[in-house]
Structure 1
Amino acid sequence: MEDEGVVAAHTADGAVFAGLAERYRWELRVHCYRMLGSFDEAEDLVQETLLRAWRYRGSFQGRSTFRAWLYRIATNSCLDFLDRRPRQPTPDTAGAAAEVGWLQPFPDRLLEPMADQDAEPETVIVARETIELAFLVAIQYLPPRQRAVLILRDVLGWSAAETGELLEMSVAAVKSALQRARPVLRAYLPHRDAGQAPAQMPAPTGQERELLRRFMAVHERADIAGFAQLLSEDVRLSMPPLPYFFAGRAEVVGFAAHALGPESPLHQGRWRGVAVWANRQPAMAGYLRQPGEPFYQAQVLNVLRVEDGRIVEITAFQPEVFDAFGLPATLS
């Protein structure tokens, strides 16, 4: 692979170079997404990464793998972006997604390479606990360089020496940054019961599929009582980029009753749900057809976090995210 990378990096043939670089687009997109928390921005930064790689291809000498060289460019592109546009979530001890206004979901269909048999083994499966929305929210509380260190070391499994070379940091500085980053991440990740391990497998569970089916059914019926039965006592609801956040079953059910009840302009509409998967989590794309309208219009994408057979978190996104999921703007 290194020899192939050297050849591709020193060719004037753009098609040859692109053919090799494109193998890594999917994982570079995930990497940029973890760094930024925004799918749209990650798409832009991946494109910038590949353009930079082509422009500076002569700098690749084969001392590292071609993949590691691309990660270096992608990471520095993200750090440059965050330096130009510094942002920090509003401190919140609960780590609420509402505090990360730029948060966007990531379609599961883009989490794996498309039948790429040459993909390196450690890149084939994106571990669920490192792509869930809760992780994405928590990691946004880290300063960008600490975030990069934690992703490279704890998510991608790079050594301290490899991480230091990529970020132009000493091994001691890498270790120090990681020691500072880990407690912050733990503080903002959702609390898990003792002995409860994070989900390792990317495949949806039968329990999640059944809960999603029930969630879609009660949503289409505007069944507030049925909706309440699906929720944990400490469920949370947020709506990035809107600054709305509801904590606890009573608050979430109260909001649902207000949004869908008789006093709401949505009450007379008819809902239809489409099941999708985002960030290794079940999700429903909600469409609404108002009286007299011929089509169902895209309304909301609800991403669910499920624990012990209950919904513990709902993150509701605006319909602008539908396009990334290959979802239409209307249904007939």
Structure 2
Amino acid sequence: MSTDTRLKERGVGDLSEVDESTFTGLAQRHRRELHVHCYRMLGSFEDAEDTVQETFLRAWRRRETFQGRSTFRAWLYRIATNACLDLLAKCRPKPATGGEVLWLQPYPDRLLDELPAGDADAPETIAVARETIELAYLVAVQHLAPRPRAVLILRDVLGWPAKDVAELLGDSVNSVNSALQRARVGMREHLPAERQDWTGDQQDARTRELVRRFTDASVATDVPALAAMLRDDVRSSMPPTPGVYVGRDAVVASWIEDGFDGMTGLRGIPTTVNRQPAVAFYHWQQQENAYLPLTIDVLRVTGGEITEITIFHDDQFPRLGLPERLPADSAQ
């Protein structure tokens, strides 16, 4: 039963008749999808969390403005989008000149599994949901100006009609259509040319085998073996650390410069993040008698080669539901 059906069954003409506890229960049913929407807009899990809280606060304070002309869900999306735009107007810097997005954070697959199924049997729906949560898409979106970004996400990801987007933004349909075209051009500038070059099936047997070999070679700090898995134009970044390395030689040189080839005592656990294959690495700490979190390497795989590595620091492990330590006798 939808939220709007529940409202009608209670005979509620507007939300001003609903107490705070009931309102919270109605709104919470949409929390995960609103959080993912804000995450696409902002690129930061933490900022998305704060913005959803702000959305619910604004919705409660302005509940009398909901008169049932749109669905309750659409009304919340309107508030969430405007909350994101307000945040972007206040404090969001532009991406760095190298193309990296320093505030980028990973999104746990276990939380993405909480999203409503929707039209789960439609291949195109499944593909859009997966591709638009991948890091390559998130990074490209962050290069767009805020309003075209909102238009792109509302139109191409959520499938809103142009007139509804225009109403949300207080703009004309022509302006929305123009912004959408600009946004699509901007996305093409920051995404690989072909769709298949920026997305991959993490369940594909060849991808799983590549991840296994990447994990084994990393634990052994076998740089030549790792280099052989990289495509010539591979990219590597480690937000929030500035800098992006482009090309196999540059990426390998950065590993050697950081002393990776001399490391020992690594363990790796294959996982998934943002619907992409990833490996959580742990490093032996003698004083703790355990392997402690080190980094999470999120991979983009194309045609059996690694085309992008986004590395996140150990502070992301708890959010991703990864173990806080591995015992001394753990096997890879």
TM bucket (normalised to shorter chain) is 0.7 to 0.9
Q: Unaligned stretches of 5+ in structure 1?
A: none
Separation in 2, partners of 1:197, 1:250: 20
Correspondence list, 1:207-246, <5 A: 207-246=206-245
Deviations 1:66-114 (A, max 9, x none): 110010010011011111113211345xxx3xx2111111111111326
The code of the aligned residue for 2:109 comes to D
The equivalent residue for 2:25 is: 19
Give the CA deviation at 1:191. Answer: 2.9
The answer as to 2:314 corresponding to 1:319 is: yes
Task: Count residues with an aligned counterpart.
Answer: 316
Tell me: CA distance 1:5–1:213, structure 2 relative to 1, closer, same or farther (3 Å): farther
Structure-1-length-normalised TM-score = 0.88
Paired AA for residue 214 in structure 2: F
Deviations for 1:166-189, whole angstroms, at most 9, x for unmatched residues?
111111111111122111111111
TM superposition shift of 1:233: 1.4
The answer as to whether partners of 2:200 and 2:300 remain within 8 angstroms in 1 is no
Specify the code of the residue in structure 1 equivalent to 2:247.
G
Distance 1:168 1:5 in 2: 27
One of 183, 186, 204 as aligned partner of 2:185: 183
- What is the CA–CA distance in structure 1 between the aligned matches of 2:105 and 2:267, rounded to whole Å? 22
1:331 lines up with 2:332 in the alignment: no
Aligned mates of 1:120, 1:314 — CA distance in 2 = 31
Please report how far the alpha carbon of residue 320 of structure 1 lies from its aligned counterpart in structure 2 after TM superposition: 1.4
CA contact (8 A) 1:37 1:136 kept: yes
Further displaced range: 247-256 or 70-79: 247-256
CA distance, structure 1, for counterparts of residue 273 and residue 38 of structure 2:
16
Find out whether 1:121 has 2:123 as its counterpart.
no
Q: Is the 8 A contact 2:136 2:198 kept in 1?
A: no
The corresponding residue for 1:102 is: 103
Cα drift, residue 198 of structure 1: 6.1
CA contact (8 A) 2:192 2:198 kept: no
SS at match of 1:113: coil
User: Quick check: 1:5–1:20 contact (8 Å CA) kept in 2?
Assistant: no
- Give the counterpart letter for 1:300 in structure 2: T
Counterparts of 1:19 and 1:121, CA distance in 2: 24
Q: Does 1:287 align with 2:262?
A: no
Q: Cα deviation per residue 1:182-237 (whole Å; 9 max; x = unaligned)?
A: 111111112338xx476587x63222222111111111111112211211111111
1:238 deviation in Å?
0.7
Unaligned stretches of 5+ residues in structure 2: 328-332
For residues 185 and 34 of structure 1, what CA distance do their matches in structure 2 show? 13
Q: 1:121 to 1:235 in 2, by over 3 A?
A: same
Alignment equivalent of 1:148, drawn from 144, 147, 150? 150
For 2:57, give the aligned amino acid. L
Q: Secondary structure at the match of 1:81?
A: helix
- 1:60 and 2:66 aligned: yes
Q: What is the match of residue 167 of structure 2?
A: 165
Q: CA RMSD in A?
A: 2.3
Hey, what's the Cα distance between the residues in 2 that align with 1:277 and 1:224?
Answer: 23
Cα deviation, residue 59, structure 1: 1.4
* DSSP 3-state at the match of 1:121: coil
CA distance in 1, matches of 2:16, 2:6: 10
Q: Which amino acid aligns with 2:159?
A: G
2:330 corresponds to which residue? none
- Residue pair 2:51, 2:84 contacting (<8 A) in 1 also: yes
SS of 2:33's equivalent in the other structure is helix
Give the Å deviation of 1:245. Answer: 2.0
TM-score, with structure 2 as normaliser = 0.88
Q: Deviations over 1:85-144 (max 9, x none)?
A: 13211345xxx3xx2111111111111326x6xx64379856222111111111111110
